[in-house]
Amino acid sequence: MNIHPTAIVSPGAELGENVTIHPYAIIEANTQIGQGCEIGAYTVIREGTRMGPNNTVHTGVVLGEPPQDMKYSGVPTYLVIGENNHIREYVTVHRASSEGQSTRIGNDNLLMAYSHIGHDVVIGSNILLANYAGISGHCVIGDYANLGGMAGVHQYVTIGTVAMVGGASKVVRDVPPYTIADGNPARPRGINVVGLRRQQVSEEGITYLKRAYRLLFRSDLNTGDALEQIADEVEQTPQVQQLVEFMRRMGEGYRGRQADPH
């Protein structure tokens, strides 16, 4: 390991092999840092943080800070981070607010400078949060989602897989998978064609999603009638099925759709 002499590392911290810790970093007890991680200067990693291998953490990041929740009573909670994440300068991520619970971040994410992830959030994998994006407590962000700079996400919002949120958007409602949302407040603007092509979805598959989108968001049908028409008229590809299931679960509220961001 390569630990700078000015860093403060608690004897109660568990460090994997080949960890690099830069000047003036602070790592508290009851933390786990996986092998191959690099911890930037002036970073603070608080108790209850669990980090997998090969994460790169840049200058001034704060991980596992207590939640900004007036109900939090100091009980043990956690922040669990996967592997191969790039966490840029001054990012803040808070641990959960209820005893034994975790804020969770998956793998291969890029969290750009000054972005924030609040308590009890579940972040999938291969997600990009641009500069100053803010995720409030209890949100769920699906795999391959992309949030533009200064986007603000209200608590208890779910953003589906391969969705894109425009910069400076105010997101107060769920964003269905494979869609683009933008505005203040944000609303669906179309299908995320670029993201779908990156996921190697066929042009035919994208066409089916466009048909489903038009029935849901560009017709005079209510959601229930639109879903029935999609079932009758649109090819039930995996992506169409996931969009339909997401729309059905939206009516169940946060508890009905929070389990899995993938």
DSSP 175: B
262 is catalytic: no
Radius of gyration in angstroms for the set of CA atoms belonging to the chain, rounded to a whole number: 20
119 is catalytic: yes
| Most distant pair of Cα atoms in the chain: their distance | 67
From 69, 120, 143, 174, the catalytic residue: 120
Q: Active-site residue among 60, 124, 137, 142?
A: 137
Amino acid at 76: P
DSSP code string of 125-157: SS-EE-TT-EE-TT-EE-TT-EE-TT-EE-TT-
Those residues with Cβ within 8 angstroms of residue 101's Cβ, 6 or more apart along the chain or in another chain: 77, 78, 120
- The neighbouring-strand residues paired with 56 are 38, 86
Catalytic: which of 34, 119, 160, 205? Answer: 119
The C-alpha atoms of residue 54 and residue 71 are separated, in whole angstroms, by 34
Is 136:120 a contact under the CB 8 Å cutoff? Answer: no
- Residue 174 annotated to the active site: no
How far is CA 262 from its chain centroid? 11
- Report, as residue numbers or ranges, the catalytic residues: 119-120, 137
